Amino acid sequence: MSNKKEMISFGDFEKVDLQVGKIINVERLKGYNKILKITVDLGEERREIMSGIAKHYSQEELVDKSVIVCTNLEPKKFGENTSNGMILAAEKGKKTNSINGFRRGRTRLPHTVSKYKWHDQARSRFI
């Protein structure tokens, strides 16, 4: 059985706002076993994001990591908390990898992201 998703147009993809942010705080979310409450510094603002990566990463592993964040998703409630974005991660089999470990000005992605912003808000271009 295939897990492939429906194809989207390039125009739809351009609507996605991706930014690199630095994780500055991680807490267990009370009442949820798999969800972490993560505070991400995006340069111009800080956001709280609830992420289902608790079984893949410890809180200590995530602090000070740089991650790609989708910043224009509608907010989602988790009990009393609201998630204001999504940290991008990829899953292959049973292993999940967050897209992290970026170094400003030196990272290249295998695709073009037209609205991509670095943590320090300097625009970058990818090949």
Kindly write down the DSSP assignment for every residue of 27-77, as one continuous string: EEPTT-SS-EEEEEE-SS-EEEEEES-TTT--HHHHTT-EEEEE--SPPEE
Environment class of 9 (CB within 10 Å of its CB; exposed 0-12, middle 13-18, buried 19+): exposed
SS3 of 101, please? coil
pLDDT tens, 39-91? Answer: 999 999 999 999 998 888 889 989 998 889 999 999 999 999 999 999 987 66
- Please, what are the domains in the chain? 20-127 (2.40.50.140)
pLDDT of residue 109: 39
**By the 8 A CB rule, do 16 and 59 touch?**
no
pLDDT tens, 30-47? Answer: 889 999 999 999 999 999
Q: What is the CA radius of gyration of the chain?
A: 15
